[in-house]
Amino acid sequence: MDRARVRSQTMTTSPGLWILLSGVLVFSSRVKSQFRLYHPIDNVNQINAEEVGFVLDQPTSKLVQFYNSFNEDCISFAPTFKSLARDLRDWDRLLKVYAIDCAKDENIRTCDKLEVSKMPLVRYYPPKFDRNLVGIEIASRKPDAIKQHLTSYLSQLKHSPEDEELFKPLTKEDSADGVFITQNSVYNSIKNVVLVYQPKSSLIGIRTVLELLSLKSLKVRIIEDRQIFAKFGLKPSTQNLAFVNRYGSHLFLTPQMETGESYAATVKEHLMSLGVKIRKKPPTTKTPSLKELFDMKQKAILSQAVERPLRVYQADMIKGIEDFLVTILPNIPLIAGKSKTALESFMKLLMRWQFRGNGQAQAHTFRNDT
């Protein structure tokens, strides 16, 4: 196929047909590309099938999204999931965030084994998860609701000796000095302690712990009785958030809202007023639109076709068509207009093809007269 022929074909091919054929050609011709919805900067670890077992065996909790990089719903959900993952960066000590693209050939069987019947699908996996189970689905796509579910799950776990007091309420029997003592040493790197009053049936203290987990010189302790504030020289009142340090300084802080995020933000503001540097979270990457995604794939295909005849082995073509029909097509919510016409033309084209041989050595060159 020469350059003139490629240009001619590009001009006469309908947009709808390109959307359909791009999916087949990406799978069947093995066009090398780096298309991905998530990147490490988003705090989302992109994994493949061979890494799933290792990830689920990890001693931390996992939040995993199963997605299809060709699916419009998955692409639309990507900015929301990136925003959520960015917020969960401070929870990294107890929770890691992952994503697996079920549209990739090497991942399809694993996604089937894990009973991924819809996408996007978000699941929670506790530490050292039993591989015979499929995880806990979180149906909501709202970040606040997902974080609420995660807060509940994490609070119910039995944590390591180092973290066992994270969510354990401070009692009247505990000493004021004891809050600065850790499992390893006395008066080590813990300089400041935040006390959070948590009413019964509330998770606000646990959420505050998670939001401040990345600050290594700070410890958050939950109290369920406001009288405990008196142990630290504070007169019990209706206030719920206090800041104390090992040298006896103490004061109540006033958050703008009664949420864990607001409590954490108030604590960070106070620390910055004391000269403590708080690391800002990096921005997330931009998610390409569905049109941009297909445009990029189309350019990659055309680039390869211009360089040399686009030869596709029969076995690869059959597998690409199968993946297109089974994985991509069912996830398109509506096929109408030019896309419907293109699909009908494509199906007629498939009916005309006569595959011969065992699919291992036979190769086909695309021509305009097909």
Between 206 and 12, name the one with better pLDDT. Answer: 206
Task: Examine residue 59 and say whether the peptide bond preceding it is cis (omega within 30 degrees of 0).
Answer: no
In this structure, what token pair is assigned to residue 189?
């790197």
Architecture of 177-273 per CATH?
A: 3-Layer(aba) Sandwich (3.40)
Instruction: Assign domain 40-155 one CATH number from 3.40.225.10, 2.40.30.10, 3.40.50.300, 3.40.30.10.
Output: 3.40.30.10
Q: How many CB atoms lie within 10 A of CB 326?
A: 10
pLDDT mean across residues, the chain: 79
Give the three-state DSSP class for 58. coil
* pLDDT at 60 exceeding the cut of 80: yes
* pLDDT at 341 exceeding the cut of 90: no
Query: What is the reported pLDDT for 213?
Result: 92
Question: Nearest to residue 253, comparing CAs of 230, 236, 270, 234?
Answer: 270
**Residue tagged 């006395």 (tokens):** 186
Query: What is the reported pLDDT for 326?
Result: 74
pLDDT, tens digit, 9 for 90 and up, residues 277-320: 888 877 778 877 767 766 766 676 666 556 655 555 666 677 77
- Mean of pLDDT values over 201-211: 94
Give the three-state DSSP class for 311. strand
Question: Nearest to residue 105, comparing CAs of 294, 347, 321, 341?
Answer: 321
Are the CB atoms for 78 and 292 separated by under 8 Å?
no
List C-alpha distances in Å: 8 to 4, 12, 281, 365.
Answer: 6, 6, 48, 16
Confidence of residue 3 (pLDDT cuts 50, 70, 90): very low
List C-alpha distances in Å: 341 to 15, 17, 18, 327, 336.
Answer: 11, 8, 12, 20, 8
CATH 3.40.30.10 residue spans of the chain: 40-155, 177-273
- Mean of pLDDT values over 263-268: 95
Q: How many angstroms separate the CA atoms of 222 and 193, rounded? A: 10
- Spatial neighbors of 133 by CB under 8 A, at least 6 apart, are none
Query: What is the reported pLDDT for 331?
Result: 66
Percent of the chain at pLDDT > 70 equals: 75
Question: Nearest to residue 95, comparing CAs of 206, 192, 195?
Answer: 206
Dihedral of the alpha carbons of 47, 53, 56, 58, in degrees to the nearest 10: -100
Query: What is the reported pLDDT for 2?
Result: 41
Query: What is the reported pLDDT for 49?
Result: 92
Of 5-9, 36-40, 58-62, least confident by mean pLDDT is: 5-9
Query: What is the reported pLDDT for 360?
Result: 42
- Mean of pLDDT values over 318-326: 74
Between 158 and 26, name the one with better pLDDT. Answer: 158
pLDDT, tens digit, 9 for 90 and up, residues 178-196: 888 765 544 456 789 999 9
Tell me what percent of the chain is helix, strand and coil, each rounded to the nearest 5: 45, 15, 45
- Mean of pLDDT values over 223-230: 93
- Spatial neighbors of 118 by CB under 8 A, at least 6 apart, are none
Highest mean pLDDT among 125-129, 173-177, 347-351: 125-129
Confidence of residue 90 (pLDDT cuts 50, 70, 90): very high
The one-character DSSP state at 226 is G
Give the three-state DSSP class for 295. helix
Percent of the chain at pLDDT > 90 equals: 38
Q: How many angstroms separate the CA atoms of 304 and 200, rounded? A: 63
- Mean of pLDDT values over 12-28: 46
What are the helix (H) ranges across the chain? 3-12, 15-28, 49-56, 72-87, 105-113, 143-155, 204-211, 260-273, 290-307, 314-323, 338-352
